[in-house]
Amino acid sequence: MPELDDALVGTRRFFTRGEVSADHRALFQIGGRQADTFYRDRWSHDKVVRSTHGVNCTGSCSWKVYVKDGIITWEAQQTDYPSVGPDRPEYEPRGCPRGAAFSWYTYSPTRVRYPYVRGVLLEMYREARQRLGDPVAAWAEIVGDPVKARAYKSVRGKGGLVRATWDEATEMIAAAHVHTIKTYGPDRLAGFSPIPAMSMVSHAAGARFYNLLGGAMLSFYDWYADLPVASPQVFGDQTDVPESGDWWDAGYLVMWGSNLPVTRTPDAHWMAEARYRGQKVVAVAPDYADNVKFADEWLAPAPGTDGALAMAMGHVVLKEFFVERHVAYFLDYVRRYTDLPFLVTLDDGRPGKMLTAADLGQDVENAAFKTVVLDAGGTPVVPNGSLGFRYGETGEGRWNLDLGDLSPLLSAAGGDVAEVELPRFDAPGGSVGTIRRGVPVRQVAGRTVTTVFDLLLAQYGVARPGLPGEWPSGYDDADSPYTPAWQETVTGVPGPTAARIAREFAANAEESRGRSMIIMGAGANHWFHSDTIYRSFLTLTTLTGCQGVNGGGWAHYVGQEKVRPITGYSVLGTASDWTRPGRQMIQTAYWYLHTDQYRYDPFSAATLSVADGFAGRSTADLIAASARMGWMPSVPHFNRNPLDLADEAAAAGEPVADHVVRRLRDGDLRFACEDPDAPENFPRVLTIWRANLLGSSAKGNEYFLRHLLGTDHGVRAKQAPPQARPRDVTWHDEAPTGKLDLLLTLDFRMTSTTVYSDVVLPAATWYEKHDLNTTDMHPFVHSFNPAIAPPWQTRTDWDAFMTIARVFSALAAEHLGTRTDVVAAPLLHDTPDEMANPYGRVMDWKAGECEPIPGRTMPKLVPVERDYAAVADKMASLGPLLDSLGATTKGVTFEVGRELEYLRHKNGVAPNGRPSIARDVDACEAILALSGTTNGHLATQGFRQLERRTGVRLADLAAEHEGKQITFADTQSRPTPVITSPEWSGSEAGGRRYSPFVINVERLKPWHTLTGRQTFFLDHDWIAELGEWLPTYRPPLDMHALFGEPRVGEQGELGITVRYLTPHNKWSIHSEYQDNLFMLSLSRGGQSIWMSTEDAAKIGVRDNDWIEAVNRNGVVAARAIVSHRMPEGTVYMHHAQDRLIDVPRTETNGRRGGIHNSLTRLLIKPTHLIGGYAQLSFAFNYLGPTGNQRDEVTVIRRRSQEVEY
């Protein structure tokens, strides 16, 4: 190559060429083998280890962690997911920028390297320990002395952490636990760790410990407001959604309040790619969100009005596809799979109750739970599949959706008509109005009945000839709900656009037989009235026959998870192999009471009602009622140590349950939630791992600081005036502060939670441990593996809790021994408990409406033996209850004798003779072996059991994998596809993409609801109280009316009032990564609030100016990001920007600025407290009040640009 030489000679020296001619344009040289050793050096590495990131995020991406010379250097995504076939995009390379920056934490200066204890506390403890010679006595003295307790509680969060040893720290922790159990009871202990699926062993570590102690595990899905309460209401299922690969199958995709590129980063490509096969994409978002870039259409409803848009779309679908035209596919679908043909009574001109076999006078088993339709001839019939067939002998083989020759009437038309009064909530100011609309009715068994379908048409305002009442004159009737023009007045979305999107959505579903999908998320689900918003969405997907169809239906993506090997995980996490039941608590109600937020509610629970059932009662009263009726759990249970209660029962010679009932009836014993501010009812010990409560999820953050922790806070709200205080819950004039004795956190990085903790234990990171990871976004199970051993003094969660358990057990042998505990367990979903309240009628024994009967009108009261000295041994082995009782998930009980024998050999045997789970790897193997999704033998066994109940064929779904046992080694080598199992409602059989309810639709297995079908109509008394029998529109809460905050748009000397939203952050996964230097470098480097150009101009704010946001709940000092992509009147403070990075002191109170949740607080919707009735029965993270936070407003102003820290 002589030219090459010429080129080199020609251009390599400065003086040779400035101008360029043909041959000397560029310098060619063969590449860098000598000169660029630096880059080669840098690229070289010793090994690559598979791991992932274990909490917060549902991505479940498998990563390559690069290691050189024993140092983690960086990470990159794995690309070795099993293929989904030749005709669709693959999963690789799942990941996101946050995950890609994870290794920064490993050696970062925010890493927690050693155990730390609050210095003031440690000094007192050391002194007392020295003097008294006993850790438990030392702890008791400190927390029992108001001066000493105040001394360390009041300095929480103010620095002063000092290093301690593991021995000293764990001794103190164990002493606190022993003292609390002994003095107040084990139910004064609480553990919080969220979302097990992404690192189930790490989660199970602490959960198992707490369940063995009798401590309460706090729920998280409802607490995060990620639980779509509409899911249990409509589907009788916690949440089951399609994997992202199934978006590909959709012909029409609506992204509604879900910003896929930001919150489903690894999955977003499916949406981008599916457009190329002609999928139409619609984005519904109040701002020009990242996903709008991809959308064919952008609808920008005013924040919180999504329900109005969906109601109008439902109006169009019902009118055009059910009334004006009859679409065979839709009609057949709703007859078979929904409650639309079922009969409802009309009572006093309002919707009443579902008609049942009992109403027909049939003397059959569970008659009040067998719902009724009309056959083609108009005769009432009881079809198979309702709840009454799920339990009992006569239901065997009949719990299915097979209608045989029966073709139920959708409408009662053909007889009389009647008017019903339906509430509307769209009035400005939130007052309740009514509309009167007619429905066809029949007389059945002496009652006036109509169908759910008829009521639905009335609710949606879809007229039919011959019906009385007020009806819209057309789509352009803006006064009559729920027309397209009406929604325009609420949402701002043009009416014709709303109608057209509805029409396209349904037409696509008609043509493709159900392949229209709505991806929905936090933007729609984090509102106070999220359940009504979601019910109006689900109406769209259900009417059009999209649920249970690949490429169709709802796709709820916020906080959802899927512990695919759920049965094995549950056994480990709840320690149900040793003791049952566990103590579980709904976290929202827990903090609503224990952080005293209830004291700041100046309005009655009846504020939202259409009837007078709640008159004179506060939300706290409803919580207490729900607890005593056994609907929702309540922890602590009673104003008495449950261990002492058992002793007292024994002393009185009574069975524990009888003893408790007698004393409750006498009034000698009370539920703790009826007096949450009495010192004996405080939560005393809180342990947090894999979570950052105080920097992230704590709605009403400042109330936590004030009442739970007893330290500085930013609360500005006033407490409720006397007339608005609870009726049944005791009010203390002085609100307690510093309720908690010990806040213990295990973490690998510093967060608000660690900064406020009394003890911080150093945790291993996700690249330093073994664990398992699954998600609902893909059908694989894969593993964590240590790239390096836990550095410094860090330990894995499994190891840390084992350590604590050993120290605890030693102390407990002396101080506690074996005691009997009383667990007050709520009425549970997927058990016969859900038949406790026929017709959803409220019966409060305390009001004399019924007898207190445990397990029926009040919680079950279960004695549980606790051998406290054996806790550590039990933790490390699988207990004997598995042999006798098996393991149950969603009503299916797996016999696991064969699996236990296998684990005996795989893991070895513990000293107590049981299969060992001493190490994290053992725990992984146990989870895999005890679950149907990872053990084909159990999957087929479970399906065979379900076949007996349903009478339909199911076991073939798993038969192809009956001999397959996924081992931990399998998950280490490659992400491993799971097996179709009765633990879930979809099917992966034959390699298809996962879509929920496919088994229900294709195999006629009922949903776990009252009718066994998807539910439009809810007939519980408290639902009726709020007028929410059917999908409806309820606007965002009016903070002006409720709390006297200024109205949105008002401008005063303190600034402008705006709606305050906290959507998910592009630069973090909750609070994780927001402190990561890479993410800070790519973002604005600290707390920021996005606002519109218009709002910024009104208050003189320029981009990057310091601003202050203030409302009654607290204060935030952040920098502004001004952008025209934001709608006027709304600001975003992206979720979970902790107070630890570049947060100055505020002008408002002179203290450190707060976090996003300093401006929010908890508000509980009464209908979320319902229990004991069909699908409206409690299960952990399945049903409970949501910790919603979207309805808030704040005042924002430009502050002094000179900030102080």
CB of 775 vs another protein, minimal distance in Å: 15
**How far from chain centre, in Å, is Cα 141?**
39
1083 near another protein, judged by CB under 8 A: yes
Site pattern 161..200 for another protein (x: CB under 8 A) = x---------------------------------------
CB of 426 vs another protein, minimal distance in Å: 25
Piece in contact with another protein (CB under 8 A), picked from 322-330, 467-475, 945-953, 1075-1083: 1075-1083
CB of 1092 vs another protein, minimal distance in Å: 7
- Could you please report the per-residue DSSP string of 585-643? E-HHHHHHHHTTGGGG--S-GGGG-SSSTTTT--HHHHHHHHHHTTSS--SS-BSS-HH
1152 near another protein, judged by CB under 8 A: yes
Going along 1015-1113, which residue ranges are E strands?
Answer: 1051-1052, 1055-1061, 1088-1092, 1106-1111
313: amino acid identity, one letter: M
Single residue of 33, 348, 393, 1100 touching another protein by CB under 8 A: 33
Sheet holding 771-773, edge to edge: 771-773, 780-784, 976-977
In this structure, how many other beta carbons lie within 10 angstroms of the beta carbon of residue 652? Answer: 13
Distance CA 202, CA 801 (A): 10
- Of 119-138, binders to another protein (CB under 8 A) are 119-120
- Of 221-260, binders to another protein (CB under 8 A) are 251, 260
| 393/1202 with CB nearer another protein | 1202
Site pattern 1118..1137 for another protein (x: CB under 8 A) = ---xxxxxxxx---------
96 near another protein, judged by CB under 8 A: yes
Where do we find the tokens 């330990």?
Answer: 795
- Of 255-274, binders to another protein (CB under 8 A) are 260-262, 265-266, 268-269, 272-274
Rounded to 10 degrees, the C-alpha dihedral 1078/1084/1085/1086 comes to -130
Distance CA 479, CA 468 (A): 18
1049 near another protein, judged by CB under 8 A: no
50 near another protein, judged by CB under 8 A: no
- Of 956-985, binders to another protein (CB under 8 A) are none
1100 near another protein, judged by CB under 8 A: no
In this structure, how many other beta carbons lie within 10 angstroms of the beta carbon of residue 332? Answer: 12
1082 near another protein, judged by CB under 8 A: yes
| 252/592 with CB nearer another protein | 252
71 near another protein, judged by CB under 8 A: yes
- Of 527-546, binders to another protein (CB under 8 A) are none
Beta bridge partners of 435: 422
Single residue of 379, 973, 1104, 1200 touching another protein by CB under 8 A: 1104
789 near another protein, judged by CB under 8 A: no
Piece in contact with another protein (CB under 8 A), picked from 155-163, 195-203, 216-224, 1012-1020: 155-163
73 near another protein, judged by CB under 8 A: yes
1151 near another protein, judged by CB under 8 A: yes
Beta bridge partners of 442: 449
Q: Is 65 exposed, middle or buried (0-12, 13-18, 19+ CB in 10 A)?
A: buried
- Of 10-29, binders to another protein (CB under 8 A) are 11-15, 17-22, 25-29
Q: Are strands 350-354 and 373-374 parallel, antiparallel or unpaired?
A: unpaired
- The helix or strand, by DSSP H or E, that contains position 649, with its residue range, turns out to be helix 642-652
Piece in contact with another protein (CB under 8 A), picked from 190-198, 868-876, 1056-1064, 1089-1097: 1089-1097
759 near another protein, judged by CB under 8 A: no
1098 near another protein, judged by CB under 8 A: no
414 near another protein, judged by CB under 8 A: no
CA distances to 190, 211, 643, 644, 657 from 864, rounded to whole Å, are 18, 11, 10, 13, 12
- Of 444-503, binders to another protein (CB under 8 A) are 496-497, 500
CB of 60 vs another protein, minimal distance in Å: 14
Distance CA 493, CA 499 (A): 10
CB of 893 vs another protein, minimal distance in Å: 41
Cα–Cα–Cα angle for 644, 645, 646, nearest 5°?
A: 90
| 90/644 with CB nearer another protein | 90
1139 near another protein, judged by CB under 8 A: yes
Distance CA 990, CA 1061 (A): 43
- Backbone torsion region of residue 403, taken as left when φ is above 0, otherwise alpha when ψ lies between -120 and 50, otherwise beta: alpha
Single residue of 52, 56, 58, 94 touching another protein by CB under 8 A: 94
Taking every pair of Cα atoms in the chain, the longest distance, rounded to a whole number of angstroms, is 107
87 near another protein, judged by CB under 8 A: yes
Of 254, 240, 274, 243, nearest in space to 518 by CA: 254
Burial 539-558 (b: 16+ CB within 10 A, else e): bbbbbbbbbbbbbbbbbbbb
| 226/504 with CB nearer another protein | 504
By three-state DSSP, how is residue 429 classified?
coil
CB of 1 vs another protein, minimal distance in Å: 6
**How far from chain centre, in Å, is Cα 850?**
34
| 818/1104 with CB nearer another protein | 1104
By three-state DSSP, how is residue 207 classified?
helix
CB of 697 vs another protein, minimal distance in Å: 18
Piece in contact with another protein (CB under 8 A), picked from 84-92, 202-210, 410-418, 971-979: 84-92
Sheet holding 742-747, edge to edge: 161-163, 116-118, 759-762, 742-747, 685-689, 189-192, 216-218, 583-585
Distance CA 39, CA 863 (A): 66
Where do we find the tokens 């976004």?
Answer: 777
Q: Are 387 and 834 in contact (CB under 8 A)?
A: yes
CB of 250 vs another protein, minimal distance in Å: 10
| 2/404 with CB nearer another protein | 2
| 689/756 with CB nearer another protein | 756
CB of 1159 vs another protein, minimal distance in Å: 17
CB of 202 vs another protein, minimal distance in Å: 22
158 near another protein, judged by CB under 8 A: yes
- Of 101-120, binders to another protein (CB under 8 A) are 101, 103-104, 106-110, 112-113, 116, 119-120
Single residue of 126, 148, 974, 1084 touching another protein by CB under 8 A: 1084
1 near another protein, judged by CB under 8 A: yes
512 near another protein, judged by CB under 8 A: yes
Where do we find the tokens 């059910």?
Answer: 322
- Of 549-578, binders to another protein (CB under 8 A) are none
1198 near another protein, judged by CB under 8 A: no
| 160/838 with CB nearer another protein | 160
Piece in contact with another protein (CB under 8 A), picked from 33-41, 834-842, 861-869, 966-974: 33-41
Single residue of 1066, 1112, 1190, 1197 touching another protein by CB under 8 A: 1066
| 407/1093 with CB nearer another protein | 1093
Of 77, 252, 221, nearest in space to 776 by CA: 221
Q: Quick one: tokens of 424?
A: 């509307």
CA distances to 220, 239, 522, 1017 from 519, rounded to whole Å, are 22, 13, 11, 23
- How many chain residues bind another protein (CB under 8 A)? 149
Half-sphere exposure of 804 toward its Cβ, with a 13 Å CA cutoff?
Answer: 31
Piece in contact with another protein (CB under 8 A), picked from 185-193, 213-221, 418-426, 1115-1123: 1115-1123
